[in-house]
Amino acid sequence: MSELSLVHEITKLKQERNAVILAHNYQRPEVQDIADFVGDSLGLSMQAAGTDADVIVFCGVYFMAETAKILSPGKTVLIPDSNAGCPLAQMITVDDVRVLKQRHPEARTLCYVNTTAAVKAECDLCCTSANAVAVIESLPQDDRPLIFVPDKYLAGYAARQTGREIIAGGGYCPSHVKILAEDILRLKAAHPRARVVVHPECTPEVQALADTIASTEGMCRDVKRSDAAEFIIGTEAGMVYRLRKENPGKTFFPASGLALCPNMKRCTVEKVRGALANNQYEVDVPEHIIEKARKSLAYMMSLTAPAGGVRLAAVTSPVNLSSPGI
Ligand code: SF4
């Protein structure tokens, strides 16, 4: 089937099924081009929850589709490739969280959005790379320790920014750690005027060389606002597609061509067609997990609205920080 007729069929199927297609910033360019929304995982899920679509096709990795299901339990959520997992999310299990809680019974538990629904349900609070600092700064300055899982580099960044002590998990993103300080130094030598923008999942050595450290949506905003003409982008290399598209007068250099996430690239346009035509692969989350995981998402969503500005009444009611566990 030609690319044009494939896109035509997807448009038809989308109308028939009243579906919306979401693509994460790291997806293949051609997948981003057929999406209704491109963005970060939480922003996309909130966009989808705010639409009247019956079906959400999530072009991303599994925890993102789970998050969409948690926020839109009444909608059908499909992931075009059922093997698209996130190795970082798989670096922490519910049992690991329970062990940490036993070791630190007084602690609050905060998980990165890059976790399974079951881990979110086990934790008190959840955050994204965009709002980790805001969530931590909003917590009372009492003597309760804070556990943050799974990403040790994001935890380190949040600890440096907030001055709080954090008991960090040992996880890391295998794609972001491929970006080395030498890569940044080499590109900086070749393009001395370039602004260095890196993701907090990068190592501390890479973060130390950055002009700014930002989530993927934060990068989009920083680049738009900046007067610089050249940028060195320290995150998954697919990010530069959207940056180039939205900023045609500016030049972007991926910090490392090795920083590619194979799981993000599993989704293809052909698989999106398959998802809509065959209702595959449906993502389900047990009701009791949805209920508890929504609570861990609710607090950060009450603090910050995503770029799209969509807020869910059900999850933005005030969260009582003195309630047990929080
Ligand atoms: Fe997970 Fe890293 Fe891939 Fe993002 S880039 S999905 S954190 S492995």
The domain boundary, picked from 123, 150, 168, lies at 168
Domain contains 272: yes
Q: Which structural domain range is residue 134 located in?
A: 89-168
Atom of ligand 1 lying closest to residue 176 CA: 2
Domain count, the chain: 3
Pairing status of strand 108-112 against strand 146-149: parallel
What is the greatest pairwise CA distance in the chain?
A: 62
Look at residue 305 in the predicted model and tell me its pLDDT.
55
CA distance 123 to 115: 10
Domain contains 320: no
Mutate to test the pocket of ligand 1, among 264, 266, 267 (most ligand atoms within 8 A of CB): 264
Domain contains 186: yes
Same domain, yes or no: 190 and 162 = no
Residue found under tokens 């398959």: 274
Ligand 1 geometric centre to CA of 98 (Å): 24
**Residues lining ligand 1, Cβ inside 6 A:** 26, 61, 86-88, 114, 173-176, 236, 261, 263-264
Residue 204 token pair: 């501390």
Mean pLDDT, rounded, for 11-28: 97
Same domain, yes or no: 94 and 135 = yes
- In 3D, which of 108, 15, 144, 17 has the Cα closest to residue 325? 108
What pTM, to 2 d.p., does this model score?
0.93
Atom of ligand 1 lying closest to residue 151 CA: 7
Domain contains 295: no
| CATH number reported for the structural domain that contains residue 241 in this entry | 3.40.50.10800
Domain contains 316: no
The domain boundary, picked from 197, 225, 259, lies at 259
Domain contains 317: no
The domain boundary, picked from 242, 259, 276, lies at 259
Read off φ and ψ for residue 126, nearest 5 degrees. Answer: -130, 155
Encode burial over 124-151: b for 16+ CB neighbours within 10 A, e otherwise.
bbbbbbbbbbbbbeebeeeeebbbbbbb
- For 289-304, the pLDDT digits (tens) are 999 999 999 999 888 6
Check pLDDT > 80 for residue 88.
yes
- In 3D, which of 182, 187, 184 has the Cα closest to residue 198? 184
Check pLDDT > 90 for residue 79.
yes
Look at residue 324 in the predicted model and tell me its pLDDT.
43
Same domain, yes or no: 214 and 139 = no
How far does Cα 247 stand from its chain's mean position?
A: 22
